[in-house]
Amino acid sequence: MPLKTTLTEMLNIRVPIVQGGMQWVGMAPLVAAISNAGALGVLTALSQGSPEGLRQAIREVRKLTDKPFGVNITILPTINPPPYDEYAKVIVEEKVPVVETAGNAPGKMVQYFKSNGVITIHKCTTIRHALSAQKIGVDVVSIDGFECAGHPGEEDIGGLILLAQAARQLKIPYIASGGVADSRGIAMALAGGAVGVNMGTRFQCTVESPIHDNVKKAIVAAKHTDTVHIFRTLKNTARVYRNKLAEEVVKMERRPGGVKFEEIKDMVSGARGRRVYEDGDIEAGIWTMGTSAGLIDDVPTCKELIDRLEREVEVILSDMTRILAPPTMAKL
């Protein structure tokens, strides 16, 4: 039973799996390996350092694969925003077929991509945001449940509820994100009406992932309880690996009067998080990890992982068909 869905047909991929856009992780070798294996690899635009750096990364991916791939752009509220328009222009000029957008007010960017024939997937943590994304013309919505790494929103809604709401209210295709790392998660998402899944933490833990082996070992060793939320009091909640630094941030947030971002900005800086991935000291900075880490127990190649997931999901769905088939009644 091939895993043919609206997503595989739309993106021209074999398996309905999209790699999540991950800062410092979504680099060319990983992206190409995922796309070569039949899923959709996704470059993280802001990890490339500049619009020209993104252009070079796109060209590097094209040297490594002739399969479809995408680019993630996360629009963050900041005093000195990156040149988002220039990043978007590079994506269009380099004829990237798919963009994953996330963050605030994507309307202008979505329309720009739409007018240039780029398929857009937008990440949402609530159904009202998904409905807004549908209204502005995105092609696919990524429904991010509370289980996800990174920013799960402020309403703490689990994936099962969000998927059920999406099935009732959305008219465009949607994929499931957050907590998906194995074949059962993919099968459940498809049964819930999703046309595919988004996986981040699972792809961190592959041979081609650019992060240090110590980080991969930490993910394999982790339980689903080994994450913690920071920035709750700042209304910018992020799920990260539970290390001493993250726990100290939470402790500061819980003190009377709370904490101002200026007091913790050096503790949570992106530069420190990047060093974790590069040097392998898992206590050196804040780094994202989803609850799906509790389902991860190996570090396969991307091809081994995707082939295994495809094979296992086909078996699960086939078994469900047999279970639900009406029994043959013997004549009385």
Domain of residue 316, CATH code: 3.20.20.70
- The pLDDT, as a whole number, for residue 330 is 45
In tens digits, what is the pLDDT along the chain, a chain of 332 residues? Answer: 578 999 999 999 999 999 999 999 999 999 999 999 999 999 999 999 999 999 999 999 999 999 999 999 999 877 788 999 999 999 999 999 999 999 888 899 999 999 999 999 999 999 999 999 999 999 999 999 999 999 999 999 999 999 999 999 999 999 999 999 999 999 999 999 999 999 999 999 999 999 999 999 999 999 999 999 999 999 999 999 999 999 999 999 999 999 999 999 999 999 999 999 999 999 999 999 999 999 999 999 999 999 999 999 999 998 877 776 665 544 44
11 lies in the same domain as 107: yes
181 lies in the same domain as 248: no
267 lies in the same domain as 148: no
74 lies in the same domain as 10: yes
78 lies in the same domain as 177: yes
* Residue 218 resides in a domain: no
Q: Which residues pair with 103 in a beta bridge?
A: 75
* Residue 285 resides in a domain: no
* Residue 292 resides in a domain: no
Number of domains within the chain: 2
* Residue 219 resides in a domain: no
77 lies in the same domain as 104: yes
Tokens, residue 295: 């389902």
203 lies in the same domain as 252: no
DSSP state of 283: T
Nearest to 294 by CA among 207, 160, 184, 194: 184
Find out whether 16 and 5 touch, Cβ atoms under 8 Å.
yes
CA distance 80 to 75: 12
65 lies in the same domain as 167: yes
* Residue 163 resides in a domain: yes
* Residue 328 resides in a domain: no
Tokens, residue 199: 């996986």
31 lies in the same domain as 156: yes
Range of 263's domain? Answer: 227-279
Amino acid at 48: Q
CA distance 83 to 230: 27
Strands (E) across 182-256 are located at: 197-199, 227-230, 238-241
- The pLDDT, as a whole number, for residue 325 is 62
* Residue 289 resides in a domain: no
Find out whether 69 and 30 touch, Cβ atoms under 8 Å.
no
Q: What pTM does this model have?
A: 0.94
191 lies in the same domain as 235: no
194 lies in the same domain as 243: no
108 lies in the same domain as 234: no
* Residue 104 resides in a domain: yes
Tokens, residue 211: 């992060």
